[in-house]
Homo-oligomer: A and B are copies of this chain.
Amino acid sequence: MSKPIRVTVWNEFRHKKTNAAIAKLYPEGMHGQIAKHLKTQPDLEVRTATLDEPEHGLTDEVLAATDVLTWWGHMAHHEVQDAIVDQVRQRVLDGMGLIVLHSGHYSKIFRALMGTTCSLKWREIGEKERLWVVEPGHPIAEGLNEYFEIPAVEMYGERFDIPAPDTLVLISWFAGGEVFRSGCCYDRGKGKVFYFRPGHETFPIYYQEEVLRVIVNAVRWAAPVDGPQINFGNVQPLEDVAS
């Protein structure tokens, strides 16, 4: 039997503390709800970490024992320490998967890995979103229908200032007239990065079956591969070089 995939669900976890409606919707935080679902999967081993823990809960030990990290942040991106961001980035380049959720598009870690601003359009009127699968053979599309709908969301619209995804899996339609690249796969170093748009602190999106399904699929897709150890730097020739 394969080894379980060790997932760390990271959450900024500030909204809940300051907003009663959010606290009611996600009494254990969004990380609590996501982790709860991931724990129902027999191949996943799940822990959580949050901003206000020491080292944001992302110590060397935790990172070393994490195969896939999921990231949700919004109001406190700037409070994430640069040194921790650097360590997370290095872990991704060394093979750890990273699933960036919703407002995490503007996190330091996502922007550092993308190299662009990751800016976008947004609107918060609770409109309908419909996510279309455009790459139906991709592992992240497993178990989905051709599209799924979320009845009330914060809208994110194009232009989304990201590098073109290595694979684009989902495109969103919004009632207000925009579209968005909502499921974006990247290879960065030996690691895999997936950006997934849905999720907001005031809507019950992380209770929706299709959304949870995508997150589980993405975790499995992003799990590290036992690929080659890479040696950088000065090397000797492998062939006789005539001189």
Residues of A within 8 A of B (CB): 89, 93, 95, 112-117, 119-123, 125-128, 130, 132-139, 141-146, 155, 157-161, 163-164, 166-168, 171-179, 181, 186-192, 224-239, 241-243
Nearest first, the 7 A-B pairs at minimum CB distance are A176-B237, A177-B238, A137-B190, A119-B232, A141-B227, A136-B227, A115-B115
Cβ of A138 and Cβ of B236 under 8 Å apart? no
Q: How far is the CB of A231 from chain B (nearest CB, A)?
A: 7
Instruction: State which of B113, B146, B159 has its C-beta within 8 Å of the C-beta of A159.
Output: B146
Q: Chain B nearest CB: distance from A122 CB in Å?
A: 6
Are B95 and A227 in touch, CB under 8 angstroms?
no
Are B243 and A136 interface neighbours, CB within 8 A? Answer: no
Contact present for B121 and A93 (CB under 8 Å): no
Asked if A234 meets B123 with Cβ closer than 8 Å, knowing A114-B115, A142-B225, A146-B159, the reply is: yes
Residues of B within 8 A of A167 (CB): 164, 166, 187
With beta carbons under 8 angstroms apart, the residue of B123, B141, B226, B243 that contacts A126 is B243
Taking CB atoms, residues of chain B closer than 8 Å to A230 are 136, 146, 159, 161
Bound-state CA distance A123–B136 (Å) is: 22
Chain B nearest CB: distance from A143 CB in Å? 6
Q: Are B181 and A159 in contact (CB under 8 A)?
A: no
27 sampled A-B residue pairs with Cβ under 8 A: A93-B161, A113-B115, A113-B116, A117-B232, A125-B241, A130-B238, A132-B179, A133-B158, A134-B159, A136-B190, A136-B227, A137-B189, A138-B187, A138-B225, A141-B228, A142-B227, A143-B226, A143-B227, A146-B159, A146-B231, A159-B230, A161-B232, A163-B166, A164-B168, A164-B187, A166-B167, A171-B181
Q: Which of B113, B128, B234 contacts A122 (CB 8 A)?
A: B234
**CB within 8 A of A228: which of B144, B171, B176, B243?**
B144
